Structure 1
Amino acid sequence: MTEIHDAEAGTATAAAARSHARAQAGTVVDCMPQLPPPPGVLWSETVVGGGYTHLALPAGAHVTLTDRDGDACAQVVLFVTGRPWERLNPADTVKVQWNAYLREGSQLLSDQGRVLATLVADTSGRHDALAGASTRARNSARYGDGSAHGPSPAGRELLVLAAAKHGLTPRDLPAPVSFFRGVTVDADGVLHATGSAGPGARVVLRLEQDATLLLANTAHPLDPRPGWHCTPLQVTAVPGEVTGPGDPHWDATPERHRAHLNTAALGAR
């Protein structure tokens, strides 16, 4: 009881609460933004399992996602900054590129046929553009609680919170793509989880337009394990250049070349 009363006394007045809050300056925990970011870095953060982040970044920025401990799942949505009606379309991402599996060189496309991001590096190979985000109802049925602030938060709930920070509503959210949790699809359309690539796997996304990135780090909806599992995810963004003529990604395939031309024609570059 003494410790409880001492803690309460330490914040019993506005002045005491202010002193207590200021005393936390310099405290470092395992999962938090790095402020200020290192020189030459736009943003650096470790997102806790069950957490989310949101970033508005310039065209050309390179966003590195790292599965630090081997059990992260980065569920990512992208919007064009200032033009939020243009957003990630996983169905077109798969359909236009004739491939259900994301890999190095894959583009993340909008429904306008333009490129939002290019996957320029990938040591994981375990990703998913098909299953979407976990939902509160599903997580509640599986784990007992799917709320955003509960012990087993659903991806959809976390993305709703991230979207709200940018004036976006639940109706604005498309399905995400997920990095670091693999999925395969049978000929009859049945999806199968293939797990993670292990600790240290990373992907690098090159943003091809000014973009708002929303990210939820939470268990994949097809994770077959009975319990909820998710470990920290590292997110780092640095300045860079968009894909242009002469870059191997510019005309790697006819479809990708056309998507880059569509993006360039908009004047986004």
Structure 2
Amino acid sequence: MTRDTSTVFAARDDARSRAGTDADWMPYLPASSSPFAPDGVEKAALTWAETVAPGGYTAKVVARGTTIRLTDVTGDACAHVLLFNAVAPWERLNVADTQKIPWQAYLGAGHPLLSGDGRVLATITADTSGRHDAFCGTTSDAWNTRKYGDAAPEGPSPSGRSLFTLAAAKHDLGPRDLPPSVSFFQGVRVEEDGTLRWEGSAGPAEVDLRAELPLIVLIANTAHPLDPRETFTVGPLRVHAWRTAPTAASAAATPETHRAYLNTIDYAEARGL
């Protein structure tokens, strides 16, 4: 369909004519208008609702205690996630501590996502996939260009790094602010000889993250770097969020994570968060 945008008035009329139309990939505003609200969650309680396109990205600031549900609709989504303390964005996800402090390298229900300051940024509270990765990070421009022939964020095979750069810019963050990320819905395991084994997807699944501090959340939905498929393959990702309560320190599984939750609660309560 040809649209007339040759004049300011024609462009205005064209833009207004699209009001109320839906797309396969879009944020739902208000969040309560989402057609995919999670079971058991009142639509009026939703604070974030969006379907992220294959090869797309999103960014949001959420309050402490928010539950964020990521839904892999088809089994082909790969949610690369970065977290920043929204109060002090120089505090951010530290993948090494996220593996080290809980004495567990594989992500799953109950696993805290830690910053380098000894605090818990978010907790995985539910997981129906079991296929995740905290080893490889996301793809680079060089990687995607070599594998798919293109890495531009507006192209057919965007790299995770290029998408994160766009998402970060919306919050006054630059490329140097982007640490290694974690990935949900496409699994990797370490063999006894240290090589990384691609596990892929468990099929359609959900993961819930609980924000333990106010967070800037960046998500890039793009192919995993170890995905062996020759063609760029990614499915849609749904995101829904609603207010809940932060995790209590008593929920910690180890003395080390107990201390991390205490550090987090102390930081938040001292600031009235």
* Residue 75 (structure 2) aligns with: 70
* Residue 18 (structure 1) aligns with: 12
The total of aligned residue pairs comes to 259
> Would you say 1:213 and 2:207 are equivalent positions?
no
| Structure 1: runs of 5 or more not aligned | none
| Structure 2: runs of 5 or more not aligned | 33-43
> Which residue of 77, 81, 86 corresponds with 2:86?
81
Provide, for residues 82-102 of structure 1, a one-character-per-residue CA deviation record: whole Å limited to 9, x for no partner.
Answer: 201100001110011111100
> Would you say 1:57 and 2:51 are equivalent positions?
no
| 2:89 aligned counterpart, secondary structure | strand
* Residue 152 (structure 2) aligns with: 147
Rounded Cα–Cα distance in structure 2 between residues aligned with 1:12 and 1:66: 41
Provide, for residues 199-240 of structure 1, a one-character-per-residue CA deviation record: whole Å limited to 9, x for no partner.
Answer: 2x0000000000000000000000011111001000001011
Look up the equivalent residue of 2:17 and give its one-letter code: A
| 1:111 aligned counterpart, secondary structure | coil
Rounded Cα–Cα distance in structure 2 between residues aligned with 1:69 and 1:184: 22
Look up the equivalent residue of 2:262 and give its one-letter code: L
> Which residue of 246, 268, 271 corresponds with 1:242?
246
CA drift at 1:33: 0.7
Provide, for residues 108-145 of structure 1, a one-character-per-residue CA deviation record: whole Å limited to 9, x for no partner.
Answer: 00001100000000000000000011011000000000
> Would you say 1:202 and 2:196 are equivalent positions?
no
- TM-score, normalised relative to structure 1: 0.94
Rounded Cα–Cα distance in structure 2 between residues aligned with 1:40 and 1:259: 29
Rounded Cα–Cα distance in structure 1 between residues aligned with 2:107 and 2:268: 27
| 2:233 aligned counterpart, secondary structure | coil
Look up the equivalent residue of 1:125 and give its one-letter code: G
Look up the equivalent residue of 1:13 and give its one-letter code: T
* Residue 128 (structure 1) aligns with: 133
Residue 193 and residue 243 in structure 1: after superposition, are their counterparts in 2 closer, same or farther (change >3 A)? same
Rounded Cα–Cα distance in structure 2 between residues aligned with 1:80 and 1:263: 11
Rounded Cα–Cα distance in structure 2 between residues aligned with 1:92 and 1:245: 18
> Would you say 1:109 and 2:114 are equivalent positions?
yes
Which has the greater radius of gyration? 1
- TM-score, normalised relative to structure 2: 0.92
* Residue 37 (structure 2) aligns with: none
Report the more deviating stretch, 182-191 or 221-230.
Answer: 182-191
* Residue 259 (structure 1) aligns with: 260
Give the aligned CA root-mean-square deviation in angstroms: 1.2
Rounded Cα–Cα distance in structure 2 between residues aligned with 1:203 and 1:254: 25
CA drift at 1:188: 3.0
| 2:180 aligned counterpart, secondary structure | coil
List, as ranges, runs of 4+ consecutive aligned residues in structure 1 with deviation greater than 6 Å.
none
> Would you say 1:96 and 2:95 are equivalent positions?
no
What is the aligned-residue identity percentage? 54
> Would you say 1:36 and 2:30 are equivalent positions?
yes
